[in-house]
Amino acid sequence: MPELAYVNGKTTLVDEAVVSIEDRGFQFADGIYEVARSHDGKLVDLDRHLARFERSARMLDLPLPMPLPELERTCREFYRQTELPEVILYLQLTRGAARRQHAAPSGLRPTLVLTSRAVTKPTPPRFSAITVPNNRWKMCACKSIALLPTVLAKHAAAKAGADEAIFVGDDGLVLEGASDNIFAVKSGVLFTPAADGRILEGITRGRILELAPKHGYRTIVGPLPLDFAREADELFITSSVLTVVPIVRLDGRPVGDGQPGPVSLAMVKAYWDFILEVTGAD
């Protein structure tokens, strides 16, 4: 089955899907998105992704076009039509289409778009990263479609020959990757920044915070200074798309001994065991 798109109730091939040029997503990035992944024909943590979608919508005073349980049914039915075992399910909601003016008129019909794209790349075994200044807005807990700082950060990483960019605040605190969360490991303890509005509260980050103690690792959620991260034994990033990936170089210097470390690899295994567990069920 080819990759599909859904726009306000209509399912077509991705190439045939259209939205208006007056859509406020196109004009103002006035909208939100969510990204979930399927493994072996099952959408993983869809409920958590949709709960975050609802929180993002609320932060922008954006009404959901349908109640959450109906949205979940819509996603599952859409995914079922795709018939692909490994996809990235993308959801986008904008305030709708209207004559261009900054303040939105009331009564707009929101635009809900879903796409289901096959996962084309295998999970990378390791990444290199650079740090970049955090030039984003103050509502990073909201998964807004306004992603220009992310685009530029990824561009800088690619230009530097690195795989990912890590945002660092003016206060010297490491925040998160351009599209993932970050963990540092020191003496067997996992450190990750708090979800205090300066980062997106990743679903995979949450899973790692639940799984780590079950595998005997202590976790500390709090400030992660760049100097500490540079001296860490290990670094790794997490996202639904990438899962768990060790960072072996930061700004051109090796992290630890420059190889994926034992704790990162234990977390890679723990997360993939969790995926097996949830995809094997039902």
Question: In the complex with ligand PMP, which residue's Cβ is closer, 97 or 250?
Answer: 250
Between 203 and 232, name the residue whose CB sits nearer to ligand PMP.
203
Could you tell me the smallest distance in angstroms from the CB atom of residue 239 to ligand PMP? Answer: 4
- Residue facing ligand PMP at closest CB distance: 202
| Residue 200 CB, nearest approach to ligand PMP (Å) | 4
Q: Is 102 helix (H, G, I), strand (E, B) or coil?
A: coil
**Which of 93, 118, 122, 106 is CA-nearest to residue 31?**
93
Residue 45 CB, shortest distance to ligand PMP, in Å, is: 8
- The catalytic position among 143, 154, 186, 269 is 143
Shortest distance in whole angstroms from residue 250 CB to ligand PMP: 17
- E-strand ranges in the chain read 4-7, 10-13, 31-39, 42-43, 87-94, 111-118, 127-133, 164-168, 174-177, 181-186, 189-192, 219-221, 234-239, 243-250, 253-254
214 carries an active-site annotation: no
Residues making contact with ligand PMP (CB under 6 A): 35, 176, 179-181, 200, 202-205, 238-240
Q: 98 or 264, CB closer to ligand PMP?
A: 264
Alpha-carbon distance of 252 to 245, in angstroms, equals 17
Cβ partners under 8 Å of residue 91, min gap 6 = 33, 34, 35, 36, 49, 53, 75, 112, 113, 114
| Helical segments of 197-259, H only | 203-214, 226-230
Q: Which is nearer to ligand PMP, 200 or 267 (CB)?
A: 200
Measured between alpha carbons, how far is 49 from 82 in angstroms, rounded to an integer? 19
- Residues acting as catalytic residues: 143
